């Protein structure tokens, strides 16, 4: 059996595991709740829906963005879990390369997250069509950026999973890195007027700012950037794409390299 056939089996098996797990449906439920919250609270708390479809599209992008965070919960135990539960003694001693196993796990996790993202954007498109009768072309760009961001988050999670002793530790470390550390450094760089396009938190912002920048998004929230202690600078999409590709490639390759050299005992 070739490695490609083995990879196909690993992907199919791992994806089936995700489909059977409750976490997939929990994250899907949270995505639906986020979208419903926007659809209900925006017209209730404001004076109806925003006049601009771009504003509403930016607000609705919170659902798909939330779905990408599901990558952390899908991948936290992908590698660390095998060492923690000692299943690696069975799995890694099979006539399948560790690199094939890691790649297969990654592709299966990505497929599960992509499924959530697709469902999220289906809701976005249906909602915009129902309210405004149109879907802006920027939605397609937002969709692509969301998929790329999901891959970046997944690679970072795989990296931490490959060096962590337990699945919970890998999940927590990744959450702290992306949502706390990256966010804090991002804010400091923004406040001091320094480039911050390479921060993963900034990259995630492009999912919504692609609809017209922070000005459109803040306008949708009924505010503006005037009350901020620093100027909000809309991320450069091109630089953010380069950054996300970097996170995706480096994190993915490092997770394979470390997994191949990590001792089971």
Domain spans of the chain, in order of start: 3-261
C-alpha–C-alpha distance, residues 52 and 34, integer Å? 20
- Mean pLDDT in residue range 198-204: 89
Share the mean pLDDT of the chain: 83
Among 259, 219, 264, 262, smallest CA distance to 100 is for 259
- Please give the model's pTM, rounded to 2 decimal places: 0.87
C-alpha–C-alpha distance, residues 186 and 115, integer Å? 29
- Mean pLDDT in residue range 158-176: 83
Model confidence at 173: pLDDT above 70: yes
Helices (H), 21-97: 22-45, 53-60, 62-75, 80-84, 88-91
Question: CB count, 10 Å around CB of 129?
Answer: 12
């Amino acid at each position: 059996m070739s490695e490609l056939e083995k990879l196909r089996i690993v992907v199919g098996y791992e994806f089936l595991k995700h489909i059977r797990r409750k976490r997939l449906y929990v994250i899907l439920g949270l995505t639906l709740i986020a979208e419903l919250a926007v659809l209900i609270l925006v017209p209730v708390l404001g004076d109806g829906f925003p006049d601009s479809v771009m504003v509403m599209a930016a607000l609705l992008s919170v659902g798909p963005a939330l779905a990408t965070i599901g990558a952390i919960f899908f991948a936290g135990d992908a590698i660390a879990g095998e060492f923690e539960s000692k299943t690696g003694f069975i799995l890694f001693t099979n006539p399948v390369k560790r690199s094939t196993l890691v790649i297969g796990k990654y592709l299966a996790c990505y497929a599960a997250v992509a499924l959530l993202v697709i469902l999220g954007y289906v809701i976005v498109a249906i909602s915009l069509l129902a309210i405004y009768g149109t879907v802006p072309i920027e939605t397609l760009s937002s969709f692509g950026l969301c998929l790329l961001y999901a891959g970046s988050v997944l690679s970072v999670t795989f990296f931490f999973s490959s060096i962590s002793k337990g699945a919970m530790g890998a999940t927590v470390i990744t959450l702290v890195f992306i949502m706390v550390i990256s966010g804090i450094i991002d804010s400091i760089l923004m406040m001091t007027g320094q480039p911050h396009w390479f921060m993963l938190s900034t990259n995630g912002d492009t999912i919504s700012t692609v609809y017209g920048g922070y000005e459109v998004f803040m306008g949708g929230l009924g505010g503006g950037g005037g009350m901020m202690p620093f100027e909000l600078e809309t991320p450069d999409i091109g630089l953010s794409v380069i950054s996300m590709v970097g996170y995706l490639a480096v994190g993915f390759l490092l997770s394979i390299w470390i997994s191949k050299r990590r001792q089971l005992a």
